[in-house]
Amino acid sequence: MPAPAAAAPARVSPTSPPSSAASGFLRLLGFGLAGVAQALSIAWPGDGRPLWWLQLLSLAGLVWLLDGLRAQGAGWRRAGLHGWVFATAWLTGSFWWLFISMHTYGGLPAPLAVIAVLALAAALGLYYAVACAWFVVRGPAGRIAGAFVFAALWTLAELVRGSWFTGFPWGAGGYAHVDGPLAALAPWVGVYGIGAAAALAVALVARRLPLRGVVPTALAAMLLAAVFVLPNVVSPLPADARGAQGTAGTLQVALLQGNIPQDEKFIPGGGIETALRWYAEQLRDAKAQLVVTPETALPLLPRQLPAGYLDSIQERYGQPGSQQAAIVGLPLGDGPGTYRNAVLGFMPGGAAQPYAYSKHHLVPFGEFIPPGFRWFIRMMSIPLGDFERGGLAQAPFVWQGQRIAPNICYEDLFGDEIGANFRDEATAPTVLLNVSNIAWFGDSVAIDQHLAISRMRALEFARPMVRSTNTGATVVIDAAGRVTHQLPRLTRGVLEAPVEGRRGLTPFARWVAPFDLWPLWIAALAIVALGAVFFRPGRTRG
């Protein structure tokens, strides 16, 4: 009996599917690239423009890839890993410039600075990992119900990042829409609501599920119209607060931009003397009704300033009958534990003590030391690194019929805290003012990202925002979020421009002032809970 013929070796077709390891790597790469696109959408490198359509494409890629995991029956760990890769890539791309402050100006060795940035992004990315895993494993199988749950989970992750452990919501997806059709939602639901609307719209369109039937198709179309069209045709302000009726008068401002290099800013005989001399000259010669310096424009405590320095400013702007006032940024305090990042306001016939505003929302590691991280701060050279917190909703600076509400540096990242100033319509601010020093982050996209943040605050509250910064962006933003006047970045100069104060409260101001962001928290949690109770999780086909 002849021996059976040996089986021919299997032939691998050049068109055979890649190995599971290779396909897994490509899938992770896809999530990472979608995350990078999300980061780029906030401020495109070069011109710094927000790209709302790129943010939608990024989210669409995320939804489509998550549906692919659902089709494969991925579990919590695998789905969470892929969501974490997306978020870590996005957040690293959003605030990579922290490396500049830690290494270039803080003296932290470059490898440790890289690790620190990646660790922060990875830690914050865990919130989105949980959201993505829930959507894949527990999300409803239906397109419309699933879209609502995805939007709610996305919003919860954004809210958690923006509030837990003091919050760091830099680069939130909603900021990409400051120039897009969804910007009209800002005075209704704020930046987080814009992010939720973007997530809802994308999930309605990008999922791998067919829309069967007339009713679901019509409902999806109505939802998309409500998101993109309705806010653009309905005014968020009452009739008596629109147009000319809503004006609170015009104020002429002079915004100073000293362009003091960060590596010289605190050097005696260098940046300190340059700043003291230049700002004194501009404060002396300015002709505008309100003159504003950047954050810590005077880089010394009052007791460290040359004799009579502040007195000369008080004499210049305190003369009875004068039509000029000044707001000056400098640190206050008597020693460690009492430092405050503050501005002082000088006006004619003022009280014995000038107006003062102290920063409320401090920067972790830069202005306060989180428990257990003092060792990390000791590795860097950061002056005045332990500040005292100011109160929430401090009194505005009242001048020339305007109520001017200051905020310092990244405080304008927290719209809910700015909203606390709008609890009483009769005393609500007519102008928002931001003073910043972004020189810590060099000539990076941080300048453009921060400008988008300020523009979003102007949209949310229908108030102009004026910004005086050390290196940029020193601008005037109108109540519609448009930049009307701007100095070139990284130049020394004075921006003189008119600012029209506004009155009236947007819907966002009306609900965020008394309730903070709780309405968004409750709505998002309720949608996720309803999705878990009433809709069956299922796999996506295709």
CA 212, CA 206: separation in Å to the nearest integer? 15
Triad 250, 413, 100: Cα angle to 5°: 115
**What would you report as the CA-atom Rg of the chain, rounded to the nearest whole angstrom?**
26
Helix, strand, coil percentages for the chain (3-state, nearest 5):
50, 15, 35
Paired tokens of 219: 């409902």
Active site (annotated) includes residue 287: no
Give the type of residue at 240.
D
Among 76, 105, 96, 106, which Cα is nearest to 35's? 96
Paired tokens of 123: 């830690």
Among 263, 266, 294, which Cα is nearest to 279's? 294
Dihedrals φ, ψ of 444, to 5°?
-115, 180
Among 364, 361, 354, which Cα is nearest to 302's? 354
Give the type of residue at 264.
E
Query: In angstroms, how far is the first alpha carbon of the chain from the final one?
Result: 51
Active site (annotated) includes residue 295: yes
* Adjacent-strand bridge partners of 345: 327, 355
132, 265, 388, 409: the catalytic one is 409
Q: Kindly give the pairing relationship between strand 483-486 and strand 475-477.
A: antiparallel
Active site (annotated) includes residue 265: no
Give the type of residue at 226.
A
CA 529, CA 525: separation in Å to the nearest integer? 6
Among 194, 180, 206, which Cα is nearest to 58's? 206
Long-range interactions of 369-374: CB distance < 8 A, separation 24+: 370/165
158, 265, 295, 500: the catalytic one is 295
158, 359, 411, 460: the catalytic one is 359
CA 35, CA 124: separation in Å to the nearest integer? 13
Question: Based on the number of CB atoms within 10 Å of its own CB, is 205 exposed (0-12), middle (13-18) or buried (19 or more)?
Answer: middle
The crossing angle, in degrees rounded to 10, of helices 143-163 and 110-138 is 150
Q: Is the dihedral of CA 476, 481, 484, 487 positive or negative?
A: positive
DSSP 207-275: SS----SHHHHHHHHHHHHHHHTHHHHS-SS-GGGSGGGGEEEEEEEEEEE----TTTTT-TTTHHHHH
CA 323, CA 74: separation in Å to the nearest integer? 68
CA 478, CA 467: separation in Å to the nearest integer? 11
Paired tokens of 164: 């837990």
Residues with a known catalytic role: 295, 359, 409
